[in-house]
Amino acid sequence: MTSRSTPGRKPKRIYARLFEVGAADPETLPTPAQAREFLGRLAQAGRLVCHGPLTNPEGDLLLFRAREGDEAKRVLRIDPWAQVPAGRYELVEWNPTLLGSGVNLDLPPARGSGRLTLLQRVAVVVSDQARAIGFYHDVLGFEIRVRDEESGYVEMALGKGTAALSLVAPVASWGEPYYSEAKARIGTRTGIVFQTDSVAALELRLHHFDAAVTERPHSEPWGGRSLRFTDPDGNEFLAFEPGLPASRVDAAHRRVPGRSRDTAAIPQQST
């Protein structure tokens, strides 16, 4: 039975284009300028998800948006990696259900619709930017993603593809009321929440660096455990470790009538 196309917006998918150098002559690989031109066109059309080199085996990976396979093939007609002889070139559909998407799968309309596509960064106001960079790097594991020495702009993130923290140090040249409003935000609750694999280990790390823990690890009614801590300026954050609510953990431990004695017990979450 042949399915018929129905009117309306079509579901969007992510496709992965993989290129392995293999026996290809390095002289035939795309130049940086050719790569930038191609990727720029994808980005302008709202199709680019991510791009980067492969190391084992050596090659190139591209993730992009398309409505279906035929459209994905048309998008790649201008791909400079497709023109490399003797290289291995493959197009596969990315499965967001199994692997996650991390992006908005909807293609933007030709003229834009004002939809939000990404949480890019959140500002944290600090009094001493150099000290703050040291804290966020050494204690929390952030890396500098963007830095402009001339303007003093700094973005730090926990990894590629994640939202960044912009560490902002107010300067009087901003004028009023911007300078005073920014200064007033120093040392307040940021509302920013981090996820951690262990709040207990995070507490030890914070104590090791003499950072302030304002609320010790404790179990939450919604499940998991959390703590609150501050940076050197007193800006407060919450970190949580995922887990089941206590009611569901207790229910899992109660023996169900008729259950075999050989059934393995579910390990209880420590509190």
CATH number of the domain bearing residue 71: 3.30.70.1060
54 and 128 share a domain?
no
**Distance (Å, whole) CA 238 – CA 148:** 29
145 and 212 share a domain?
no
How many domains does the structure of the chain reveal? 3
Does residue 84 sit within a domain? Answer: yes
The residue written with tokens 């050197």 in the block is 232
Nearest Cα to 186, choosing from 234, 130, 232? 234
191 and 224 share a domain?
yes
Buried b (16+ CB within 10 A) or exposed e, 183-202: eebbbeebeeeeebeebeeb
Does residue 210 sit within a domain? Answer: yes
Does residue 106 sit within a domain? Answer: no
Which runs of E-coded beta strand occur in 36-188?
Answer: 48-55, 58-66, 88-94, 121-125, 143-148, 153-157, 164-168
pLDDT tens for the chain, residues 1 to 271 = 343 444 444 447 889 999 999 888 889 999 989 999 999 999 888 888 888 888 888 899 999 989 889 999 999 999 999 999 888 999 998 776 655 555 555 555 555 566 677 788 999 999 999 999 999 999 999 999 999 988 999 999 998 778 999 999 999 999 999 999 999 999 999 999 999 999 999 999 999 999 999 999 999 988 899 999 999 999 999 999 988 665 555 554 554 444 443 333 334 444 3
Does residue 218 sit within a domain? Answer: yes
178 and 201 share a domain?
no
Helix (H) or strand (E) holding 98: helix 96-99
Q: In which domain, by residue range, is 25 found?
A: 13-98
DSSP three-state, residue 145: strand
Does residue 265 sit within a domain? Answer: no
pTM above 0.85, yes or no: no
24 and 92 share a domain?
yes
87 and 23 share a domain?
yes
CATH number at residue 213: 3.10.180.10
